Amino acid sequence: MNPTHPNLEIGMLLYPGLTLLDLIGPQTVFSWFANTHLVWKTMDPVISDTGIGILPTRTFETCPSKLDVLFVPGGFGQQQLMDDAEVRTFLADRAAQSRYVTSVCSGSLLLGAAGLLNGYKATSHWATRDALGAFGAEPVDARVVVDRNRITGGGVTAGIDFGLVLLAKLRGDEAAKLTQLAMEYDPAPPFLSGSPKTADSSTIRQAMEFMVAHAEKQAGRRQSEVAS
Amino acid sequence: MNPTHPNLEIGMLLYPGLTLLDLIGPQTVFSWFANTHLVWKTMDPVISDTGIGILPTRTFETCPSKLDVLFVPGGFGQQQLMDDAEVRTFLADRAAQSRYVTSVCSGSLLLGAAGLLNGYKATSHWATRDALGAFGAEPVDARVVVDRNRITGGGVTAGIDFGLVLLAKLRGDEAAKLTQLAMEYDPAPPFLSGSPKTADSSTIRQAMEFMVAHAEKQAGRRQSEVAS
């Protein structure tokens, strides 16, 4: 750690229906070493996929142009953004000027849609990982995947591991270690059910059903907002 | 899992300077089975200890009176609330009507200050755990501590383990397992540094220094707000 290092500049995309934990995991990891900018089209509150309202700190126009890290979270709202030209233009523009271009969960599909994973190894939530192939990416079954300056994390809670890996690259192992300790990241999952490799087949089926139902609910919510 | 179960009613305290990950971990765990109410004195945005603005969904007056779970997160802002009569009265009132009275991180000190842990085993962030003794609680070095209807979690990321343990109690193991899978909670911490038991002594010292500095910064911020 070098105490004279300036704060990192980290641009984190917000959008309606994001999974807030995808973002708050790494944002908490980075926070002692960074200015974390929460970026959306407007400064109006953005509602997460579990109904939490969060305030952007920057718009696409006011987000710093040169970033240490561009970050995209996943969430059920990701699907409604895949054809959004404004979002794709913002991501492609900042990616060209960022040291690292990154995502957690289904956020990698948004990076893919913006043309930013073509020819790169990448990961995503286990349920959406194979869809990366459609964007010229090579899906990898790993919690954190580093390929040149693209770093992608798996589903939701993988954002904490992702954040610590990236912080170690940017500010050294000691910075990541003290952050891990301050966050008491010494996990003790109560079940062996965090991956399709270990979960029961009935649990996998039920999780898929819940995820499809929530994706449809999110799509319906967007639809009715567009109509109103 | 019983699909006819009504949604759980979960009241989660917000306050200036809370550690948002303490709350978003369990809120994400509960979300598919619960109405999670984010409660503060007013409906104005609350700013977390890393500068994130979040919108309350209820006030102390409009929060449901009977809750399945009363939940208090930790954060550097906790210290400024220890003598707040309005907060302590709210916690004591809802605790008397809740099935479970719970916290993550230094949130347990607020439960203690409200007289809710007297005679109970409890835990907290490793750096604040011993302070529980002042409130008649018995500090326990564990990630999640269950004593009758008091359930307390360790620091920050322990909220995910805490949430899954509590969800299993309320809605059964299968509900917790599918949630763990959907959140891909199959952790892979990059360092063996998540607990004072495993971290280097230099890392512990540096983490303590960072935490003290941020607690003072938070206290200064509150002070200047009160003055203005």
Q: Note the pLDDT of residue A227.
A: 65
Q: Distance between CA atoms of A215 and A208, rounded to whole angstroms?
A: 10
| Local confidence band at A215 (pLDDT 50, 70, 90 cut-offs) | confident
Tens digits of residue pLDDT in A77-126: 999 999 999 999 999 999 999 999 999 999 999 999 999 999 999 999 99
List the domain boundaries for chain B: 8-187, 189-228
Nearest-Cα residue of chain A relative to residue B174: A203
User: CB distance B156–A53 less than 8 Å?
Assistant: no
Candidates A183, A210, A218: best to mutate against B (most CBs of B within 10 A) is A183
pLDDT class of A1 with cuts at 50, 70, 90: low
Chain B residues whose beta carbon lies within 8 Å of the beta carbon of residue A143: 186, 188
Q: How many CB pairs under 8 A join A and B?
A: 223
Report the gap between the CA of B188 and the closest CA in chain A (Å): 6
Residue B3: the pLDDT is 63
Instruction: Name the pLDDT band for A220 (thresholds 50, 70, 90).
Output: confident
What contacts B156, CB < 8 A, 6 or more positions away? Answer: A28, A182, A183, A184, A185, B19, B21, B22, B25, B74, B104, B105, B125
Of A183, A202, A204, the CB nearest to B156: A183
Cα(B17)–Cα(B11) distance, integer angstroms: 18
- What integer best gives the mean pLDDT of chain B? 95
Contact B186 A160 (CB under 8 A): no
Is domain B8-187 classified as CATH 3.40.50.300?
no
**Mutation site, B161, B180, B192, B206, interface A, largest A CB count within 10 A:** B180
Closest residue, chain A, to B196 (C-alpha): A181
Two tokens at A199? 């979960």
Nearest residue in A to B43, CA atom: A53
**Which of the residues B43, B145, B169, B183 would you substitute to probe the A interface, choosing the one with the greatest number of A C-beta atoms within 10 Å?**
B183
pLDDT band per the 50, 70, 90 thresholds, residue A226: low
Report the pLDDT value the prediction gives residue B227, as an integer from 0 to 100: 65
CA A124 to chain centre: 9
pLDDT for the residue B2: 66
Residues of A in contact with B37 (CB under 8 A): none
Query: Which residues of B are catalytically annotated?
Result: 105
This prediction has a pTM of 0.96
Among all residues of chain B, which has the CA nearest to that of A176?
B191
CA distance B153 to B148: 14
For residue B47, the model assigns a pLDDT of 97
8 Å CB contact of A57 and B51: yes
Per-residue pLDDT reduced to its tens digit, A128-154: 999 999 999 999 999 999 999 999 999
- Residue A184: which of B57, B154, B188 has the nearest Cβ? B154
Low-confidence ranges of chain B (pLDDT < 70): 1-3, 222, 225-228
Say what the pLDDT of residue B136 is: 98
Residue A208 CA to residue A126 CA, distance in Å, equals 11
> What average pLDDT does this structure show over A12-27?
98
Annotated catalytic residues of A are: 105
Q: Supply the pLDDT for residue A214.
A: 87
Instruction: Choose the mutation target among B36, B144, B157, B198 for the interface with A, i.e. most A CBs under 10 Å.
Output: B157
Give contacts of A124 with chain B, Cβ < 8 Å: none
Whether B50 and A31 lie within 8 Å, measured CB to CB: yes
Phi/psi for B68 (5° steps) reads -75, -40
Cα angle: A71, vertex A105, A159; to 5 degrees: 65
A184 to B155: CB separation less than 8 angstroms, yes or no = yes
pLDDT score of A209: 93
Tens-place pLDDT, residues A177-211: 999 999 999 999 999 999 999 999 999 999 999 99
ipTM of the complex: 0.95
Determine contact, residues A187/A158, Cβ cutoff 8 Å.
no
Please classify residue A164 by burial: count the beta carbons closer than 10 Å to its beta carbon, then call 0-12 exposed, 13-18 middle and 19+ buried: buried
Residues making up chain A, counted from first to last: 228
Residue A194 has its nearest CB partner, among B27, B184, B191, at B184
Long-range contacts of B126-129 (CB under 8 A, 24+ apart): B126/A184, B126/B154, B126/B155, B126/B195, B126/B196, B127/B155, B127/B207, B127/B208, B127/B211, B128/B74
Residue B226's pLDDT is what?
A: 64
Question: A180 and B188: CB-CB below 8 Å?
Answer: no
Q: Which of B144, B177, B191 sits opposite A176 (nearest CB)?
A: B191
- Which pLDDT does position A53 carry in this prediction? 98
Tokens describing residue A20: 């807030």
Q: How confident is the model at residue A3 (pLDDT cuts 50, 70, 90)?
A: low
Q: What chain B residue is nearest to A26 in terms of C-alpha separation?
A: B21
Residue in B154, B176, B187 closest to A161 by CB: B187
